[in-house]
Amino acid sequence: MGQSDEPQALRSAATAAPKAAAKPASSAVHRYRAVRQATEALTRSLTPEDQLAQSMPDASPTKWHLAHTTWFWETFLLVPNLAGYKPFDPRFHYLFNSYYEALGPRQPRPERGLLTRPSLDDVIAYRAHVDAAMGRLLADGAGALAGLLNLGLAHEEQHQELILMDILHLFAQSPLQPAYAPPRGREPAQPSHPPEPPRFVGFAGGLVEIGHAGPDHGFAFDNEGPRHKVWLEPFELADRLVTNAEWLAFMADGGYRRPELWLAEGWARAQAEAWEAPLYWQRAQQKDGGGWSAMTLHGLRPLDPAQPVSHVSFYEAEAYAAWAGARLPTEAEWEHAAQGMPVAGNFLGSGRLEPAAPPPGSGLRQMFGDLWAWTRSAYAPYPGFRPAGGAVGEYNGKFMAGQFVLRGGACVTPGGHLRASYRNFFYPHQRWMFCGVRLARDPAAGADVAADFEADVLAGLSRPQKAVPPKYFYDAEGSRLFEAITALAEYYPTRTEVALLRCIAPEIACLISPGAALVEFGSGASVKTRILLDAAPQIGVYAPIDISPAALDEAAAAIRRDYPKLAVAPLVEDFTRAITLPPAAQGRPVTGFFPGSTIGNFDPEEAQAFLAGARRLLGAGARFLVGIDVVKAQKTLVEAYDDALGVTAAFNKNLLARINRELGGDFDLDAFAHRAVWNAPASRMEMHLVSLRDQQARVAGRGFEFAEGETIHTENSYKFTVEGFAALAEKAGWALEASWLSDEPAFAVVSLLA
Ligand code: SAH
Ligand code: AVI
C-alpha cells in the first residue's frame, strides 16, 4: 500500500517489556506490543509541534499517524471482535479513517494538519486505551484473528516508515533545517570514495515464477500474489544502486535540461516544478564553495558522492536511465534476481537512517534496504488477484492505476517487514519517499564470453597488480590441461575427492528424490558426476554448466552415451552470471553439485555472492553438495600447484597463448615463468605469471609495460576449514546439513540446504 496514505515501513526493533500479569502474555501480545512501542520510539526526538504540522497534502502529521494506526486496530479488530469494547471517542472514526470508503466519510487528507484537537496527549491516551483492549483480545493468542493481526502489524510498520518520510519532508521546509537524529559516525560528513563503475549481472531469462506463494509461506499483502509464471527475455541488472556522484555527472551533462531524455509527462512536471536536482539537494552559496548538500534525517549534510542517490521521482529515474544508455528493471526482473537472496541490508534497524555506499565486493548488492528501487512496471493486479472482502479489501487493490512499483525496502523500512515479493507503489512524480535507482539493460547483441574476455583482460592488465580472472584458463586446451593436472601425482585434490565421493555416494543417494535434477557447476569432464549417477539411478535430469564449450560438449556426449535413460541438458554459461535452470530441470527436486574446490577460485565476497546466486537458481528445498579443499602443510600445497612435469605451468601459460590467439596479443611465452605461492594470511594458493625481463606486450591494440619480476596474478585457490566454509555459506542463506572429510591430504565435501 504505497502511495495512498501508507507506503511501506520498518522493522520493529523494540522488544516489548511485558507488564507483570497474572498469566504470561501470549506471543501475539508480545508481537503487538513490540510493533506499537517501535512506533512510539520513533517520536521520542519530536516535539508536540513537530507532530502536528503537515508539510504537504501527501504527507501526514506524526500525530495523525499515531492516531490512525490506533484507529485501524480499533476498527478492524476491537469493534467487531472484543465483546463490550467501547470506542475511545466515536468522533475519531471520522478524524482518523484514512481512505476506507466502506467505512464512511473522513477528514480530508490535505487538512490533517488542522487537527489541533485532539491534543497529542489525547492521542497518546487513545493508544493506551486501544493497547489495553488489544491485550485482552489477544490474551489467549490471536486464534482466528491471526491474519488480521499480521495485517495490522504490517500496516503499523508501514506507518513507521511514513512517519520518518513525512518528518523529513516537514523538516526540509524549515529554515532551521532540524536534524531528526544526530549524525552517526562521521561529523562533519566525510565523503567516502565513489565506487567503481557499476557492473551488470546477466540473467538468462526464460519462464520464471514471481509473486508470493500464499499463507503457508508466511504473511504477505494481497497485492503480492498469486504466484505466477512470467516470461523474461535475457536481461542484465546493475550490481548496485546509482550513486550521487553519477547523478552529478548526469546533471553536469544537462540531465535536467534535455527534453530528449525525458518522458513527456515527466518533462512537463520537471518544468512546472523547476526541478534541477533531487528533492532534498541544496546548492551551497558560491562563497561556501558552491557544492551540493542534502537535507537528511541528520539535518543538512554535504553530499556524499558514494551514497546512492535518493528522493528522485520515477520520471527522473527514467531520464537518468536514458542518459546512461540503460533502462529501469521491470518488477519481475527485480524479483527474479532477488529471489533466494537473504533479505538483509541497511534497514531501519541499522540506525543509519540514510542510504549507505555499496559494500565492497561483487555480485548484486543493495537489493534490500538502503532505498526503494523504482521499477518500470505499472502497479497492476497479478493474474488471478482478488482483493479481500469487506473494507480491508480497499487496502491495496483500489490503488492499481497510474502508479509504479518500487522494490526492496529502504533505510527507514523495518527489516523484518520486507520480502522479495514485496510491492511498494507511488505516483511517478512523487519524490519524498526514500527511493533510488538501479539500472537494468538488455544484453548487447552479440555480447558473449569473447567480449567479456577482451574487456576483462584489458581491465585486469591495467591494474597496479595485473590480474586476469581464472575462468579464462578454460579454452579447449586449458580444459585438456586441467584434466592432465588431475592425473598428476602432486595434485591430490581430485584423487582424494573422488575417493571420498565413492565412500559417501550411497549415503548421498538416499537423500536424492526420484526424478531429481542434478545441476553441476564447472562440470568439466563430468568425471565425478558419474559416481553420483551410478549411486543414484533415480536422478532424472543432469544439467551440467560450464564456461568451456569444448569440455561441456564432450562430457555431455559421453554421459548421454553411458546413461541412456538420463535427460542431459548442458548449459554453456559463466556460472557467476545469474542463470536460469534449463527447462528440463525445472519443477523437479534439485541437487546442486560443485566439486573440485572450484569455489576456492573465488574471493570470499565472490564466493558468498556465488552461493547466494546458486541458492536462487537451485530454489527452495534444494540441496547443494560442494567440494572444498582443506588447509594443509605448505609443501603439499605448493607442490600441487608447481608439479615436476610442468603441466600446471603449461596450464598457467596457456592463458597467454589464448590471449595471443583470441585477442590479437603478442605475449612472448618464453619471457614469462609460472609461479605458485602459498599466501598464508589469506589462506590461499596463488598462481602468477612472472615477467622475466622488462618488456611490453600488446593486447587488442593496447600496449602494456612489464617490469622484470612483475607478475600477472592468474588464480587464487582458497583453502578452507569446514567451519569457515559453513559460516560463509550461512551468510548466503544456506544451512550446513552434513560434511565429510577425506583421509590425508584432506579434502571435504559439504552438503548445504537451501
Ligand atoms: N568439476 C571438475 C572440473 C573442475 S575444473 C572437477 O572437479 O574436476 C573447473 C571447471 O569449471 C572447468 O571445467 C571450467 O571450465 C569451469 N569454470 C571455471 N570458471 C567457470 C565459470 N565462471 N563459469 C562456468 N564454468 C567455469
Ligand atoms: C579448478 N580449480 C579448483 C583448480 C584449483 O586447484 O584451483 C584449478 C587449478 N589450478 C592449478 N591447478 C589446478
Residue nearest to atom 8 of ligand 1 (CA): 596
Q: Give the number of residues written for the chain.
A: 754
The pLDDT-based confidence of 526 (bands split at 50, 70, 90) is: very high
Q: Return all residues near 61 (Cβ < 8 A) that are at least 6 apart.
A: 51, 52, 53, 54, 112, 113, 115, 166
How far apart are alpha carbons 57 and 111 in whole angstroms? 8
pLDDT tens digits, residue range 119-143?
999 999 999 999 999 999 999 999 9
408 lines ligand 2 (CB under 6 A): no
Strand order in the sheet with 299-302: 281-283, 292-296, 299-302
641 lines ligand 2 (CB under 6 A): yes
Q: What is the mean pLDDT of residues 611-638?
A: 95
Atom of ligand 2 nearest to the CA of 716: 7
CA angle (430 as vertex; 425, 435 as ends), nearest 5:
65
pLDDT at 19 over 60: no
pLDDT at 146 over 90: yes
pLDDT tens digits, residue range 177-214?
999 998 765 444 445 555 677 888 878 778 889 999 99
Signed CA dihedral, 269, 271, 272, 274: sign only: positive
- Ligand 2 centroid – CA 617 distance (Å): 24
Return the best residue to mutate from 473, 483, 547 for the ligand 1 pocket (most ligand atoms within 8 A of CB).
547
Identify the pLDDT of residue 449: 65
Q: Which three cell numbers stand for residue 192?
A: 567516502
Which of the ligands is closest to the CA of residue 652?
2
pLDDT tens digits, residue range 711-743?
999 999 999 999 999 999 999 999 999 999 999
Identify the pLDDT of residue 208: 87
Q: How, if at all, do strands 571-572 and 711-718 pair? A: unpaired
The DSSP line for 266-283 is HHHHHHHTT--S-TTEEE
Atom of ligand 2 nearest to the CA of 685: 7
- Ligand 1 centroid – CA 598 distance (Å): 6
Beta bridge partners of 715: 687
Average pLDDT of the residues of the chain: 92
396 lines ligand 1 (CB under 6 A): no
Atom of ligand 2 nearest to the CA of 522: 1
Place of cell 551488470: 200
Atom of ligand 2 nearest to the CA of 596: 3
- Ligand 1 centroid – CA 364 distance (Å): 22
- Ligand 1 centroid – CA 726 distance (Å): 21
Which of the ligands is closest to the CA of residue 686?
2
pLDDT at 1 over 50: no
- State residue 538 phi and psi, 5-degree precision: -75, -10
End-to-end alpha carbon distance in the chain: 30
Atom of ligand 2 nearest to the CA of 598: 3
More confident call, 577 vs 574: 574
Q: What is the mean pLDDT of residues 362-390?
A: 93
Atom of ligand 1 nearest to the CA of 598: 9
648 lines ligand 2 (CB under 6 A): yes
pLDDT at 578 over 80: no
Q: How many CA atoms lie within 13 A of 503 on its CB side?
A: 13
610 lines ligand 1 (CB under 6 A): no
523 lines ligand 1 (CB under 6 A): yes
Note whether 395 and 221 are within 8 A (CB). Answer: yes
Q: Show the 3-state SS of 385-416.
A: CCCCCCHHHHCCHHHCCCCEEEECCCCCCCHH
pLDDT at 325 over 80: yes
The pLDDT-based confidence of 321 (bands split at 50, 70, 90) is: very high
- Ligand 2 centroid – CA 718 distance (Å): 10
641 lines ligand 1 (CB under 6 A): no
